[in-house]
Amino acid sequence: MVKVVKFGGSSLASAAQFAKVGDIIRADKTRRYVVPSAPGKRNAKDTKVTDMLYACYALAEEDEDFKGQLKKIKERYNSIINGLNLSLSLDEEFKVIEKNFKEKAGVDYAASRGEYLNGIIMANYLGYEFVDAAEVIFFDEEGNFDSDKTDKVMSKRLEKLENAVVPGFYGSDAEGNVKTFSRGGSDITGSIVSKAVHASVYENWTDVSGCLVADPRIVENAQPIKVITYRELRELSYMGASVLHEDAIFPVRKAGIPINIKNTNAPEDEGTLIVESTCQKADFTITGIAGKKGFVAVSIDKDMMNSEVGFCRKALQAFEENGISIEHMPSGIDTMTVFVHQEEFEGKEQQVISSIRHHVNPDVIDLEADLSLIAVVGRGMRSTRGTAGRIFSALAHANINVKMIDQGSSELNIIIGVSNSDFENAIRAIYDIFVMTRL
Ligand code: ASP
């Protein structure tokens, strides 16, 4: 059994957090490969080291004095080193970083130093070997992650090591320069390492005990989700419930490795297990609820629309021409409604309307703004009668008007459109009907 453990920024923000992480790793010998993030926030007002590095490098790029900023970053690392009583000095590393900043080594290089330095501390603290991610993670000429090369080089390197620390977030590009993933990318590194060492599980340690059935800012004491499939997670993350970087799923999913989201501050909590498929029943009929505010419904009406060949294609062309992505498209016999993001649509609404007129000459175009979409997701819905009925009667009892309904043929989710002002109440009503009644 081999486990890869990735720790997020809040799990490594201070010496006290490092000590918790040390206990977690030492408690299980199979936790052999460790992927750290850069130190995150110690409290709500604090700044992440990655953000400090971006700000510091921005000064360097403008040829302004960045030494004060760099010193503050060094102090954050030194407080971790001293708090852990390590005999480690990062003086030489900081000299190199200062020189490279002066020489404008690039913003990705700058940001990556957060994980790089934290990796050195972690390796020293655990007595594990440090493997620089720039030597084992690669991007191709186009800047895309090179999965084949990475897998080959990394498996070969880690095969020989009983234990290792591989810092998250970066690798190197085709020219050998440091390149980072997008923000939150240490999750991706953890997934890549898991694939390379054929891990039995990828443990992703953070500051919550996994995914919850609903957003805890909306539903008080929302229940945790014990097991979720990749597809369910994708539906929920798309609707804003984020626990993990989206791209972190692909490497492990391909290799059939489950992800376990765990809480560094409550290690005994089971957390959430993310799997390809499962015959384990979810605790409730639904697995999760998530939603997003800020949509506009563009309704296009035309008599005899249904018999006009190519009507939908031509109407949608109006959105495509204006670079607007489409979220949902419920339709009737002589009407089709297109849900789009309000932010994206607002600046271009008149162009879109005139393109629709030009392409399909409709009778009426009606716009309704300030709408929300809510996804009720659950593999359990497929085999259960009456799920939709319960959702809509709960919403009716809560006095909420449903503006749109869309159920995918996979029966994995039901999407509901409501007014922004009903958003929170709708989520609470759906949560209550499934979770509070435990059905
Ligand atoms: N430190 C990077 C960030 O703040 C990457 C990560 O933490 O995953 O985005």
168 CB near ligand 1 (under 6 Å): yes
CB-side exposure of 184: number of CA atoms within 13 Å? 9
Cβ-Cβ contacts under 8 Å for 245 (sequence gap 6 or more) = 181, 182, 184, 185, 186, 187, 188
What one-letter code names the amino acid at 292? K
pLDDT at 439: 54
Structure tokens at 182: 């997008």
pTM of the model: 0.88
pLDDT at 330: 87
Largest CA distance in the chain: 79
Question: Picking from 176-180, 237-241, 430-434, 435-439, which range would have the lowest pLDDT averaged per residue?
Answer: 435-439
pLDDT exceeds cutoff 90 at 406: no
pLDDT at 91: 98
Average pLDDT, the chain: 95
pLDDT at 438: 62
Q: Is 357 left (phi over 0), alpha (psi -120 to 50) or beta?
A: alpha
Q: How far is the CA of 39 from the centre of ligand 1 (A)?
A: 9
36 CB near ligand 1 (under 6 Å): no
39 CB near ligand 1 (under 6 Å): no
User: For a substitution probing ligand 1, which of 17, 115, 192 has the most ligand atoms within 8 Å of its CB?
Assistant: 115
User: For a substitution probing ligand 1, which of 48, 193, 243, 264 has the most ligand atoms within 8 Å of its CB?
Assistant: 48
pLDDT at 242: 81
37 CB near ligand 1 (under 6 Å): yes
269 DSSP assignment:
S
263 CB near ligand 1 (under 6 Å): no
One-character DSSP codes across 276-341: S---SPPSSS--EEEEEEEEEEEEEE-TTGGGSTTHHHHHHHHHHHTT--EEE--B-SSEEEEEEE
434 DSSP assignment:
I
- How far apart are alpha carbons 108 and 123 in whole angstroms? 22
CB 394 within 8 A of CB 384: no
Separation of CA 201 from chain center? 19
Residue nearest to atom 5 of ligand 1 (CA): 184
